[in-house]
Amino acid sequence: MGATTADSHRVIRVTRARENNLRDVSLEIPKRRLTVFTGVSGSGKSSLVFDTIAAESQRMINETYPAFVQGFMTSRARPEVGALEGLTTAIIVDQERLGANIRSTVGTVTDSNALLRVLFSRLGDPHVGPPQAYSFNVPTVTGAGAVTVSRGEGRTMAQKAAFSVIGGMCPRCEGTGHVQDFNI
């Protein structure tokens, strides 16, 4: 049986990845599919994707250049991994901001957000709840207190009020992660 090309495999097989905080992680990632890695901070998502899979893909690409060209490139060490099978060229989408708008994402820049919205509008459950159920752009606001109203001739009246609006966006930075305070 002859050697098979990496693209003929249906999965990328990672065996015993030990880069950074990974501890002998093994998994299979389906090829030709959108794959998303999620998890809590420090769980190893970036170590697996950027420091293991993408790093080895880039190293393999760099080895295809002539030795003269490789002399001008940064050399990359092989990542701490037992085996990587079925690996081809990786398209790396890092965590840097994409453009001037702080809310720009891969989805907004590539217009894939619009396509996903159409897809979900056709296939999804038509009622998912109010905006607060799925949007982080709705602030959480709570407050309570009393307002003193002057009625003239020394008469005042205190009115107590309380309110709460549930959402997910920080009311101070409006979901941008940055606060600009101006001293005027």
Tell me the per-residue pLDDT of 85-121, one tens digit each, with 9 for 90 and over.
Answer: 999 887 777 767 777 777 777 778 788 888 888 887 7
Instruction: State the pLDDT at residue 121.
Output: 79
Question: Per the domain annotation, does 30 fall within a domain?
Answer: yes
3-state class of 174 per DSSP?
coil
Among the listed residues 96, 115, 99, 97, the one whose alpha carbon sits nearest the alpha carbon of residue 107: 115
Say what the alpha-carbon torsion angle 66, 69, 74, 79 is, to the nearest 10 degrees.
-10
Residue 81's pLDDT band (boundaries 50, 70, 90)?
Answer: very high
pLDDT digits (tens, 9 = 90+) for 36-49: 888 888 899 999 99
Distance of alpha carbon 28 from the chain centroid: 21
Whether 73 and 22 share a structural domain: yes
CA distance 146 to 162: 9
Whether 12 and 83 share a structural domain: yes
Question: Per the domain annotation, does 180 fall within a domain?
Answer: no
Angle at 19 between CA 24 and CA 14, to 5 degrees: 55
Whether 89 and 160 share a structural domain: no
CA distance 41 to 53: 19
- Residue 120 is encoded by which pair of tokens? 């979900």
Question: Per the domain annotation, does 124 fall within a domain?
Answer: no
Supply the pTM of this predicted model: 0.54
For residue 60, the domain's CATH number is 3.40.50.300
Whether 85 and 142 share a structural domain: no
CA distance 47 to 158: 58
Whether 11 and 89 share a structural domain: yes
Question: Per the domain annotation, does 123 fall within a domain?
Answer: no
Residue 147 belongs to what domain range?
Answer: 130-173
- Residue 114 is encoded by which pair of tokens? 């619009």
- Among 44, 75, 94, identify where a domain stops: 94
Residue 153's pLDDT band (boundaries 50, 70, 90)?
Answer: confident
Question: Per the domain annotation, does 116 fall within a domain?
Answer: no
Report which DSSP code applies to 177. S
Whether 12 and 89 share a structural domain: yes
Whether 80 and 138 share a structural domain: no
Residue 23's pLDDT band (boundaries 50, 70, 90)?
Answer: very high
Whether 134 and 90 share a structural domain: no
- Say whether pLDDT at 84 is over 80: yes
Question: Per the domain annotation, does 53 fall within a domain?
Answer: yes
How many domains in the chain?
2
Question: Per the domain annotation, does 63 fall within a domain?
Answer: yes
List all residues 6 or more positions away from 61 whose beta carbon is below 8 Å from its beta carbon: 89
Burial category of 12 from C-beta neighbours within 10 Å (exposed 0-12, middle 13-18, buried 19 and up): buried
Whether 85 and 135 share a structural domain: no
Whether 83 and 13 share a structural domain: yes
Question: Per the domain annotation, does 17 fall within a domain?
Answer: yes
Regarding beta strands 81-85 and 141-150, do their DSSP bridges make them parallel or antiparallel, or are they unpaired?
unpaired
